[in-house]
Amino acid sequence: MIPLSVLDLSPILEGSDAAQSFRNSLDLAQHAERWGFNRFWLAEHHGMPGIASAATAVLIGHVAGGTSRIRVGAGGIMLPNHSPLVIAEQFGTLESLYPGRIDLGLGRAPGSDQITARALRRNLESDVDSFPRDVMELRDYFSKAPRQPVRAVPGTGLEVPLWILGSSLYGAQLAAALGLPYAFASHFAPGQMMQAIEIYRNTFKPSPQLAQPYVMLGFNVFAADTDEQAHFQATSMQQAFVNLRSGRPARLQPPQAGYLSQIAPHERAMLEQVLSCAAIGSPETVREQLADFVTRTGADELMITSQIYDHAARLRSYEITAELQQVPAQAAFR
């Protein structure tokens, strides 16, 4: 059995609002805690009409305050948008409030388009080395003996665990060089997944935080009592991806019968590529697809995301997934 965790974008549903999304996220986290999921992560996105987790640290505090054991964190914070000191203070505050339960995943994408990135008022002309430098600066703020004259208060000495997120080979190389755990976004960008895993494992250098490589992979799950119900529920996520890639992001739409037969061939091809890291179906179907994925990748942990419109159906999908946690753990990827 390998650990299973939850990635929640706090989706804003068509016909609903962000306030309801936050209630749904907390309810999902409380169920996930009871069902034995390892961690509950929220992701930073800006200017997206269907994603409510823009103020990620604030929402993490909301979820952590409404749960008691599950780890809560960012999957992730887009560090180019922020001063490392500010993130150290925010997550130092969270770690002080909820000790031993906070994770900090870091990405180098802006989590938005260029216009929105400019509105965030960070320097868009920074050189290619700025992200590694920012990660190391942030790590230093959390250390017990920071080398910098400025102190993160709270933050210093709390050693909040850092993760590197990625959807390309760059993140794998950086995570390996810094000796940090690596989370790959295979749930939406699986193209370089196997190569990234291999590079990370083969070049990993131990650090005080981590003695050996640790890979967590994003994975879509749409589980229901029947295959037909699961494929129907998955059409909300399919619509979201097509809308996003077509330049018309929207709130999460209700499921639509026969959706795949109504879209263009190039859109179906795009969805086939995205859903190459997905399990859709009844409990037995999902069990087989999860086991196949773990066998193929040697993942140490899976981060499950289920973009399902109906909240009760989304809860049911995660409940089924939790019941299938007897997925065989595999040896390290070779």
Query: pLDDT by residue (tens digit) across 121-153?
Result: 656 555 556 999 999 999 999 999 999 999 999
pLDDT digits 0-9 by tens, 207-232: 999 999 999 999 999 999 999 999 99
Q: What is the pLDDT, as a whole number, of residue 326?
A: 58
Per-residue pLDDT band for 330 (boundaries 50, 70, 90) equals very low
- Which homologous superfamily is 4-323 in? Luciferase-like domain (3.20.20.30)
Q: Is pLDDT at 236 greater than 50 in this prediction? A: yes
Q: How far apart (Å, rounded) are the C-alpha atoms in residues 9 and 94?
A: 19
Q: Is pLDDT at 328 greater than 90 in this prediction? A: no
Q: What is the pLDDT, as a whole number, of residue 109?
A: 80
**Mean pLDDT of the region 11-18:** 98
Could you tell me what percent of the chain has a pLDDT over 90? 88
Domain boundaries, the chain: 4-323
Q: How far apart (Å, rounded) are the C-alpha atoms in residues 144 and 7?
A: 30
**Mean pLDDT of the region 59-70:** 98
Q: Is pLDDT at 180 greater than 70 in this prediction? A: yes
Amino acid at 109: A
Higher pLDDT residue, 3 or 328? Answer: 3
Per-residue pLDDT band for 325 (boundaries 50, 70, 90) equals confident
Q: Is pLDDT at 110 greater than 70 in this prediction? A: no
Q: What is the pLDDT, as a whole number, of residue 329?
A: 47
Buried b (16+ CB within 10 A) or exposed e, 213-231: bbbbbbbbbbbbeeeebbb
User: What predicted TM-score, i.e. pTM, was given to this entire model?
Assistant: 0.94
The chain-wide mean pLDDT, for the chain, equals 93
Q: What is the pLDDT, as a whole number, of residue 119?
A: 79
